[in-house]
Structure 1
Amino acid sequence: MASVFRDTAATSPLERWARTQAMDVDESLRQMMGPSATFRGRQKAIIKSILQRQSPIIAVMPTGAGKSLLFMLPAWMSRGGTTIVVVLLVALRADLQQRCQALGISCVEWDSRRPVDGASVVLVTPESAVSETFQTFINRKRWTKERDRIVIDECHIILQEGYEFRKEMAQLGALRMYFDTQTIQWFRGRTSRTNVTYRVMEIGASPPSRDIGERMIQWIQQRVQRLYMVYYSKAVDKKGMLASFQKQSPGVIVATSALGMGIDIPDIRLVIHVGRTRSLLDYGQESGRAGRDGDPSQAIMLIDGHGRGWGDPPEVDGRVEEYIMGSCRWRALDQYLDGTVDGYIWQQCEEGEAMCD
């Protein structure tokens, strides 16, 4: 889920805006990404609204649906301005910076100790985005008429009651005070991942927990010959870890939820959860690392014979229990994450969709 605030109070220079309006978005996409590039899902409609200066725009799309293009293409089309992107995770910032640079888009990470003027895209953490230093920066960009838009990535995390992770995210709504907000547009796509097979597997039976933990590790090691590295929030050189993971063949990484959002590696084929997640929203995000290229992939949750996992969080939402105990994993995920979209309610798996267990 991404949120875009378009600056309507102090617009970018008229000639830059006129240039983007005159450009065909399909042709611009092909010029930026190659002659065979096409839009997917709601991308084109959302980008057109961004270029028409609608504000704010809320885009709800499935994992792997190409939300990053929503700011990359407008930034590429309206060069000379600055797009600010609030990004949660270190690995995701590095990934976005690499992808922007590969497309010829000048992209830098915010650093209060050195200027970032001249960049088309500035990546900033939630903590820095609410700081006085950064507020001074975006005000300066406003008065020089260089600031095009602000994008807040992964903004869905503030919807979870009692969620304390990166609590500064909840303060980012204050950025709207810098704009004359005139319209609201929602773009709501279905988030179902039809190429991912969802499974819950029982390993062992009852406690003690040490025994079940060892059984789960043995189960994984039977399928994965070598575990290369451990990725967690305080790990040293997380960027280097992620780069090494991508270069390995096959690539294997052990990770906490620090790697659970926004990592855009297209060909991850298997995501294994040792135990239950705190919420079904977390599981949708974390299992959504699998199969982002659209090819068949698997997401497996390992539990013991009592429906618990090794190292479960202190509290587990009841919907996770429904997912585990239900007859259809897809139904539990789809009813929670989507419900009714455009008059459609998911009823059953259809031909061509990956069947759950």
Structure 2
Amino acid sequence: MNKPVEILKRYWGFDSFRAQQLETINAVLNNQDVITLLPTGGGKSLCYQIPALIKDGICIVVSPLIALINDQIDSLKAKGITALNIPAGSDQDEIVRIFDNLKYGNYKFLYLSPERIQSKFIQEKIKQLPISFFAIDEAHCISEWGQDFRPSYTLLSVLKELKENTSIIALTATATSKVINDIEVILKLENTTLFKKSFYKENLSYTILKSEDKLYRLQQIFSKTNSPAIIYVNSRKRTFEIANFLKANGFKATSYHGGLTSVEKETAYKSWLSNSTPIIVATNAFGMGIDRPDVNLVVHYDIPSSVENYVQEAGRAGRDGKKSYAIMLTNTSDLKLTLNLFENAQPSLAEIKLVHSKLYQYFQIAKGEHIETSFDFNILDFSSIYNLKVRKVFNALQLLNNFGIIELNHFGQKRSSIQFLINRNELYNYKSNDNIKRKLLDTLLRMYGGVFEQEVRINEFSIAKHLGSTSQRVIKLLDELNTEEVINYQKSSKNSSLFFLHPREDNLTINRFSKKIQQVLQHKYNKLKTLVNLIENDTVCRSIQILNYFEEKSHKDCGICDVCLAKQKVQNISSEVLDIIKTHGEISSRDICNKLNYKERDILIHLRKLLAEEKIKVSNYNTYLLA
């Protein structure tokens, strides 16, 4: 079994490929350098996964997000396909072991971050592997004109040096011609074959809905549809708020964001997939690898950060080809707030330099000193000590990370965990002595398996909910049990692991990248402004605006977006007013309004328009007749 369609059927259960997939796969099998541009839902990952299963050797996949790498590996493992990555914080011995497994363990995929590939040690190890080809996922990160520029991506041309005559496939969902050109030049691709699918979706209706009461609008929208839906919001807190609001109003909804544990994510996803909760309220952490064809509606409750992100997220509706809707809820206050939040959250170059210098001060690192071990870093503590805004610090750290000045292994919360230190018999005797803790211990045993054998992650809030108590009370009881050595209780931590990748040189380090950093900051702002212009422009078809952004020329209106429907409504009113005047010969404006199911204001506007066009006239009795 080595035909692409046979592998597709065996592992993914599909009988045929989508547009451009098979062409891309065949080009990779023929050892060509390839750039594939497929919109969200186009099945980009199959374009390298299937040829990797056919070809001898290991496919190295470069991906920018640890979460995305983990999701891809989990998905492959669930299909019985072998894949590995190098976990954050792995020491040299662990890396040697991983590469030995790759050599002798029949693995087909190695997933790496672009930063990992810059390690000379890992480069030497890659040279020793039988590589089938390289796959560069989210390849738009190569270009400073892409929406998620990652300077480490610009160094990936080293792949051609490590393995001469080894082909590369670069994949992305959103890229302009500038970005595509950068991908080709920076990766040193030769005789590149480009596969590009149009961004036009004839079945997707883009609608910008202006409303001062967005929650009421949500109620209206979901009272008219029962189909699976995604609501995108910009904060983790809001995922819960909107989901709870919908549930309180009789709708079945769940929430999803990047801070959930893998179990919580899987529970929310399966609940949505099975239609137990057909509405999922999520941050943009939800979507990568999501391939549900029957989603009929995507709602943006908050404004996304760019046209690329909007199109990617909206494109998760209508993959089955049926008419679907992408609705963005917004108002004047929203637009102002979004621009203000952006400006307040984006650090200037001077502020980035300040955060950088304070990091060395925070960890007491002397000038010229380079410490190669990681530091435990708490962003809230750091921001508080130096009186800095957390959002600006977060974005400054992201930029420092992206430019290879520091490395942050994760932002996010390490979940709490417990493990029992006494056996079941000892626990039975202990429980009889304390009625208050008995219920807590019983609850722990019911909710979590394996707590005697290993460390198990827990959620204090969920435990409190089962007990009818508060999470603060549960934490206090767990602390007491920990002190009594009944359990080993590790509280959740919001810390990150931070590495300094350069000796302390203060501003000299950043000055090397200052021009590029300023370009990235300006480009982010320009992208947001472009999206705001799309929202405010209600005279040009939404699809045409989107296609123009991606340099696809189209002069044909989609006919189903809010702008097109408004134009059709305008034409309908004028023609219906004319028909009534033709039928009655002479008629008052009041009688015309009584006969038409439109707002009086709109009808009067069209009467004035028809008068200006000299298609009708007004009699001495203030009635209307044909001119």
- TM-score bracket for this pair, using the shorter chain length: 0.7 to 0.9
2:263 matches 1:287: no
SS of equivalent to 2:111: strand
TM-score normalised by the chain length of structure 1: 0.74
Q: Compared with structure 1, are the counterparts of its residues 221 and 94 closer, same or farther at alpha carbon in structure 2 (3 Å cutoff)?
A: farther
Could you say which residue in structure 2 is the equivalent of 1:40?
A: 18
Contact 1:202 1:302 in 2 (8 A): yes
SS of equivalent to 2:115: helix
1:221 Cα shift? 6.1
Letter in 2 for 1:320: L
User: Separation in 2 of the partners of 1:96 and 1:295?
Assistant: 28
Letter in 2 for 1:190: S
Q: Compared with structure 1, are the counterparts of its residues 185 and 264 closer, same or farther at alpha carbon in structure 2 (3 Å cutoff)?
A: same
Q: Compared with structure 1, are the counterparts of its residues 60 and 104 closer, same or farther at alpha carbon in structure 2 (3 Å cutoff)?
A: same
TM-score normalised by the chain length of structure 2: 0.44
Alignment partner of 2:114 out of 104, 122, 126: 126
1:231 Cα shift? 1.1
2:548 matches 1:335: yes
User: Separation in 2 of the partners of 1:319 and 1:42?
Assistant: 29
Q: How does 1:186-265 map to 2 (within 5 A)?
A: 186-204=194-212, 215-217=213-215, 219-220=217-218, 223=222, 225-226=246-247, 228-232=254-258, 235-237=259-261, 239-248=262-271, 249-259=276-286, 261-265=288-292
2:305 matches 1:278: yes
2:66 matches 1:58: no
The range that moved more, 263-272 or 114-123, is: 263-272
1:46 Cα shift? 1.1
1:93 Cα shift? 2.8
Letter in 2 for 1:231: H
What is the percentage of aligned positions where both structures have the same residue? 30
Alignment partner of 1:109 out of 70, 85, 95: 85
1:297 Cα shift? 3.1
Letter in 2 for 1:71: Y
2:127 matches 1:139: yes
Which structure carries more relative contact order (alpha carbon 8 Å, separation 6+)? 1
1:278 Cα shift? 2.8
1:49 Cα shift? 0.9
Richer in helix (by share): 2
2:119 matches 1:150: no
- Kindly report the root-mean-square deviation, in angstroms, between the aligned alpha carbons of the 2 structures: 3.1
User: Separation in 2 of the partners of 1:98 and 1:338?
Assistant: 36
Contact 1:197 1:296 in 2 (8 A): yes
Alignment partner of 1:323 out of 512, 517, 534: 534
Contact 2:143 2:154 in 1 (8 A): no
User: Separation in 2 of the partners of 1:48 and 1:98?
Assistant: 26
User: Separation in 2 of the partners of 1:270 and 1:59?
Assistant: 27
SS of equivalent to 1:228: strand
Letter in 2 for 1:134: I
Letter in 2 for 1:330: S
Runs of at least 5 residues in structure 1 that lack an aligned partner in the other structure: 1-19, 205-214
User: Separation in 2 of the partners of 1:149 and 1:305?
Assistant: 50
User: Separation in 1 of the partners of 2:146 and 2:311?
Assistant: 18
Contact 2:206 2:327 in 1 (8 A): yes
Contact 2:117 2:123 in 1 (8 A): yes
Contact 1:196 1:291 in 2 (8 A): yes
Q: Compared with structure 1, are the counterparts of its residues 304 and 126 closer, same or farther at alpha carbon in structure 2 (3 Å cutoff)?
A: same
User: Separation in 2 of the partners of 1:294 and 1:90?
Assistant: 32
User: Separation in 1 of the partners of 2:555 and 2:265?
Assistant: 36
User: Separation in 1 of the partners of 2:268 and 2:332?
Assistant: 33
Q: Compared with structure 1, are the counterparts of its residues 304 and 122 closer, same or farther at alpha carbon in structure 2 (3 Å cutoff)?
A: same
Could you say which residue in structure 1 is the equivalent of 2:558?
A: 349
